[in-house]
Amino acid sequence: MSQTHPFYHWVQLQRPRLGTRVTFATDDFFAAKERVIDFAEPVFIDDKYDDHGKWMDGWESRRKRTVGHDFCVIRLGVPGVIRGFDIDTSHFTGNYPPQASIEACVSDADTPEEEWVELLAKTDLSGDAHHYLEIDSEQVWTHVRLHIYPDGGIARLRIFGEVIADFTDVEGFVDLAAIENGGRALACSDEHFGSMHNLNAPGRGVNMGDGWETARRRGPGNDWVILALAQPGVIERVEVDTAHFKGNYPDRVSLEAGVFESDDLATPDSSRWQTLLPETKLKMDQQHYFEALEALGDVSHVRMSIYPDGGVSRLRLFGRVGGAE
């Protein structure tokens, strides 16, 4: 089961693909503020310089010669409950800020000026390191403000949480697995080449790296991934998209679903899984639509199994919330 850090099963709310933007920074002389929310892992290029000096993959302010400190404002593309942060100073060694704090607010403005609430008190940072910091709040937020003391560079700010969508007035089918609706990938057998969190991202995959792809399986068995639905519902239609996967798409796929009171109970060996889509052949680089599904009623989680291994770009699970007619 894949889990690389404490918040891995939560959505990265800062992803630009969700519409998140950095709307303001007091200073970004050395490195553009927009890079602090880049979904890609930060890199260091030894001999790369620009007109301002050494090129760094992150947000970096100039050396402060006056009283005060620097900060930037991030507007979330999809409001959400924040479960934790990763303040990542990768590759920043002699130029990282010694401390940081984080606030959040709810606003319609790009750059709110008041009503900020402290989520993370001033915290010590180290250079070239990840800082995973848990947040205890059930509030849905629209903005985050990252303070650094007094100046310096942050490679990435990861904002982990969950989307709480309002389905009150929704009619017809919705994608119960989509990130923007609150769906989350929880665990998988392997993701050597591509993250499971790409499976329910908005839009079609842009290339082979923008999907979930496992290593080549050399032993018995098959690969799998488990997703939590935004809310329990009846799944009526499934799309399995193998876009860009040609010599490495799975030969077959199957889907199982069940009702679990918590994510922790949705384990791969649970006896509650029931067949939603039996083992079915796939083709390379195309969208597959399945409507002949088993009638299971409301389900809360889905497990997709691929045989024996390979890559899937997107998984869409269309249905009605709570079985609504």
Task: Give the model confidence (pLDDT) of 245-265 as tens digits.
Answer: 999 999 999 999 999 999 999
CA distance 37 to 14: 6
Strand 117-124 relative to strand 130-134, pairing: unpaired
pLDDT in tens, 74-85: 999 999 999 999
Please compute the mean of the pLDDT values over residues 220-229 and round it to a whole number.
98
What is the extent of the structural domain holding 103? 11-163
**CA distances to 36, 106, 192, 222 from 58, in Å:** 5, 26, 25, 38
Same domain, 77 and 205: no
Question: What's the structural domain count of the chain?
Answer: 2
Is the predicted pLDDT of residue 4 greater than 80, yes or no? no
Q: What is the pTM of this model?
A: 0.91
- Measured CA to CA, the distance from residue 185 to residue 170 in angstroms comes to 23
**Nearest-5° angle of CA 313, CA 263, CA 250?**
25
Task: Check whether residue 88 and residue 199 sit in a common domain.
Answer: no
| Phi, psi (deg, nearest 5) at residue 265 | -85, -15
**Average of per-residue pLDDT values in the chain:** 95
219 — pLDDT class (breaks 50, 70, 90):
very high
Contact 190, 310 (CB under 8 A): no
Q: How far apart are CA 271 and CA 139, in angstroms?
A: 34
What integer pLDDT is reported at residue 167 of this predicted model?
83
At 13-56, the pLDDT tens digits run 999 999 999 999 999 999 999 999 999 999 999 999 998 999 99
pLDDT score at 325: 46
Phi then psi for 138, rounded to 5 degrees?
-105, 5
Q: Which of 121, 137, 163 is the last residue of a domain?
A: 163
CATH code, 293: 2.60.120.260
What is the b/e burial string over 125-164, where b = at least 16 CB atoms within 10 angstroms of the residue's CB? bebeeebebebeeeebbbbbbbbbbbbbbbbbbbbbbbbe
142 & 47 share domain: yes
Shared domain check, 259 and 199: yes
Question: Which of 226, 219, 228 has its CA nearest to residue 189?
Answer: 226
Residue 16 shares a structural domain with residue 143: yes
- Determine phi and psi for 179, rounding to 5 degrees: -55, -45
Using CA of residue 266, residue 77, residue 288, residue 321, what is the dihedral sign?
positive
DSSP state of 261: S
Residue bearing tokens 């970096």 = 60
For residue 179, being part of any structural domain is answered with yes
- 122 shares its domain with 187: no
Per residue in 268-285, pLDDT (tens digit) is: 999 999 999 999 999 999
Q: Are residues 242 and 210 in the same domain?
A: yes
Are 95 and 187 contained in the same domain? no
pLDDT tens per residue across span 163-203: 988 887 777 889 999 999 999 999 999 999 999 999 999 99
